[in-house]
């Protein structure tokens, strides 16, 4: 199984990394490492995580208050959003 990003999710990831780098140098790379570990967990068992709307799922990161919103398209996990869970819970709905 592989994964791909929607463009807004790539922007989410870059913004989150910038935010954490501004908070503390190097923290953005730690966020990226956590993101990659979360993707690996999803790829190992993509249907294990919370279903949000009927066709999407959300997997939370362990260290940071973020969740990855994704769908399963054949053998590809399509990441639609890297959600800051401190924001309004419906902020991602316009993307799907």
pLDDT above 90 covers a percentage of the chain that reads 83
**Coil, strand, or helix at residue 83?**
strand
The boundaries of the domain holding residue 11 are 2-87
What's the whole-number average pLDDT of the chain? 92
Pairing of strands 2-5, 76-84: parallel
Give the Cα-Cα-Cα angle 87, 12, 10 (nearest 5 degrees): 155
**Lookup result for tokens 């068992």:** 45
CA 64 to chain centre: 11
Task: Please indicate, yes or no, if residue 44 is contained in any of the structural domains.
Answer: yes
Global pTM? 0.89
Q: What are the structure tokens assigned to 57, written together?
A: 């799922």
Q: Given the structure tokens 């890297």, which residue do they identify?
A: 82
CATH number at residue 40: 3.30.2310.20
pLDDT digits (tens, 9 = 90+) for 10-53: 999 999 999 999 999 999 999 999 999 999 999 999 999 989 87
The total number of structural domains in the chain stands at 1
Residue with tokens 């979360």: 38
User: What is the CB-side half-sphere exposure of residue 91 using CA atoms within 13 A?
Assistant: 14
């Amino acid at each position: 199984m592989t994964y791909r990003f929607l463009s807004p999710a790539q922007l989410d990831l870059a913004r989150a990394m910038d935010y954490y780098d501004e908070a503390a140098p190097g923290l953005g790379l730690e966020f990226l490492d956590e993101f990659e570990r979360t993707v690996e967990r999803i790829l190992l068992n993509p249907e294990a995580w919370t279903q949000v709307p009927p066709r999407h799922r959300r997997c939370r990161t362990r260290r940071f208050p973020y969740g990855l919103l994704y769908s399963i398209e054949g053998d590809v996990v399509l990441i639609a959003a890297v959600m800051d869970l401190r924001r309004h819970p419906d902020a991602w709905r316009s993307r799907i």
